[in-house]
């Protein structure tokens, strides 16, 4: 924490008190000062310069608080060539007047989980830059200099951003826009960027090669994605075609690195001894129980997993629920493609040409013999997926 110089609330040298009143009124209205006020600021420079303290060692500028009432007024003397950290203003808006010297101001915006420079502008003596409540910026005094800051309403906290570590520090109290020397809680950018916070992920994945059926799986995945997006408008529905295990890991890694959280995982596939199958019939792939246990899947607190594959309710869904601590759903019997999701309806000889397809759990020849096949083609009802919860 820095030491801040405080001056009396009313200091009227050469009309300075009246000038600050007028400037504060402009800030409170969300405006910027015009030429007449800026001329008065120039005339008051000698008085303002005597008030500004020198920066402390290791800090890019000093903070001299002139007022804190409806508007915070702060005077800063800058160390030559030093840049402050990117920061916001705790929800406040206002403006900064360059009293003396030249400054580079950079403005930032979020690009996924990254904070990137969007503009870079030089400001010189007598110029003003407007600050809105959503601005994230930094400044550098090219050769030192003085700036006069107005913020309304006065902020009780601010966020500073450590670009080297991609972390945010929320500073409460009398801090400046730099990384404090003392230890302070940090939050990764991936957890605070607006895009990441706005949209939990519903991930609909389907295999593309194993035992054929890939075209039907793709249609079923697209159907599921459309319906889920309609029911969950605040979520981002992502559809992924997966050839091998590596594709599953690659997509999972990307979501994790971007700080995304999965609210629903749907996997449309065939299944084998250890659960979902990947790869091809000639080169089949499965994750072993050890590989599943070694994964990190970033579920939300209410996350769920659905395995739209044969017999996944018998072993794999309970196993997955215990490993990842989420509710998991699986099918008891064999699955089949249907044009209806409530009961079996034959998709014809070209199922992939259909607009809507569903993978459902019904009796069939493999699970119930010829009688099961007859029941299926007579329109057997789909069995609901079975829920497994963590032990």
**Is 124 flagged in the annotation as binding?**
no
Burial class, 349, CB count within 10 angstroms (exposed 0-12 / middle 13-18 / buried 19+): exposed
**DSSP for residue 343:** B
**How far apart are the C-alpha atoms of 388 and 328, rounded to whole Å?**
5
Q: Residues 151-167, buried b or exposed e (16+ Cβ, 10 A)?
A: bbbbbeebbbbbeeeeb
Contact assessment for residue 327 and residue 389, using Cβ atoms and an 8 Å cutoff: yes
| Whether 288 contacts 274, CB under 8 Å | yes
The angle subtended at Cα 35 by Cα 33 and Cα 40, nearest 5°, is 85
Contacts of 159 (CB under 8 A, 6+ apart): 87, 88, 90, 168, 169, 170, 171
Could you give the 3-state DSSP secondary structure of residue 347? coil
243 labelled as ligand-binding? no
The rounded radius of gyration (Å) of the Cα atoms in the chain is 31
**Per DSSP, what are the bridge partners of residue 98?**
147
Question: What single DSSP character describes residue 143?
Answer: T
Q: What is the DSSP string of 10-72?
A: ---STTHHHHHHHHHHHHHTT----HHHHHHHHHTHHHHHHHPPPPPTT-SB--EEEEESSSE
Q: Does the CA dihedral 45-50-52-56 come out positive or negative?
A: positive
- How many angstroms separate the Cα of 379 from the Cα of each of 79, 94, 303, 375, 386? 79, 68, 33, 7, 21
Rounded CA-CA distance 280/178 in Å is 55
* C-alpha span between 80 and 370 (Å, rounded): 86
Residues annotated in the binding site, as ranges? 87, 89, 137
Residues annotated in the binding site for Fe cation, as ranges? 87, 89, 137
């Amino acid at each position: 924490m820095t030491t801040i110089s405080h001056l009396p609330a009313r200091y009227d040298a050469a009309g300075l008190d009246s000038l600050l009143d007028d400037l504060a009124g402009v800030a409170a209205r969300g405006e910027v000062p015009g030429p007449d006020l800026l001329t008065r600021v120039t005339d008051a420079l000698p008085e303002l310069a005597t008030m500004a303290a020198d920066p402390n060692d290791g800090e890019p500028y000093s903070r001299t608080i002139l007022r804190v009432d409806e508007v915070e007024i702060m005077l800063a003397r800058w160390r030559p060539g030093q840049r402050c950290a990117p920061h916001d203003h705790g929800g406040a808006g206002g403006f900064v007047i360059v009293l003396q010297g030249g400054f580079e101001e950079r403005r930032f915006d979020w690009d996924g989980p990254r904070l990137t420079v969007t503009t870079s502008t030089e400001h010189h003596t007598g110029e003003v830059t407007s600050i809105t409540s959503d601005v994230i910026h930094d400044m550098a005094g090219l050769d030192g200099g003085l700036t006069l800051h107005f913020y309304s309403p006065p902020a009780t906290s601010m966020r500073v951003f450590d670009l080297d570590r991609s972390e945010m520090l929320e500073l409460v109290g009398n801090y400046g826009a730099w990384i404090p020397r003392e230890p302070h809680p940090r939050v990764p950018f991936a957890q605070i960027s607006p895009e990441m916070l706005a949209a939990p992920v519903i991930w609909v994945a389907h295999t593309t090669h194993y035992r054929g059926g890939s075209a039907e799986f793709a249609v079923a995945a697209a159907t599921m994605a459309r319906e889920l997006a309609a029911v969950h408008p605040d979520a981002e529905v992502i559809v992924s075609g997966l050839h091998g295990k590596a594709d599953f890991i690659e997509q999972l890694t990307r979501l994790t690195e971007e700080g995304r959280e999965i609210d629903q995982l749907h996997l449309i596939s065939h299944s084998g001894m250890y659960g979902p199958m990947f790869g091809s019939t000639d080169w089949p792939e499965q994750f072993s129980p050890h590989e599943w246990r070694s994964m990190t899947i970033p579920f939300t607190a209410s996350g769920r997993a659905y395995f739209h594959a044969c017999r996944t309710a018998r072993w794999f869904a309970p196993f997955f629920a215990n490993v990842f601590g989420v509710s998991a759903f699986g099918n008891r019997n064999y699955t089949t493609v249907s044009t209806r999701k409530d009961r079996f309806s034959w998709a014809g000889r070209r199922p992939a040409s259909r607009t809507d397809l569903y993978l459902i759990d019904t009796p069939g020849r493999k699970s119930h013999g010829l009688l099961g096949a007859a029941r299926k083609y007579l329109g057997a009802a789909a069995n609901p997926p079975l829920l497994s919860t963590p032990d």
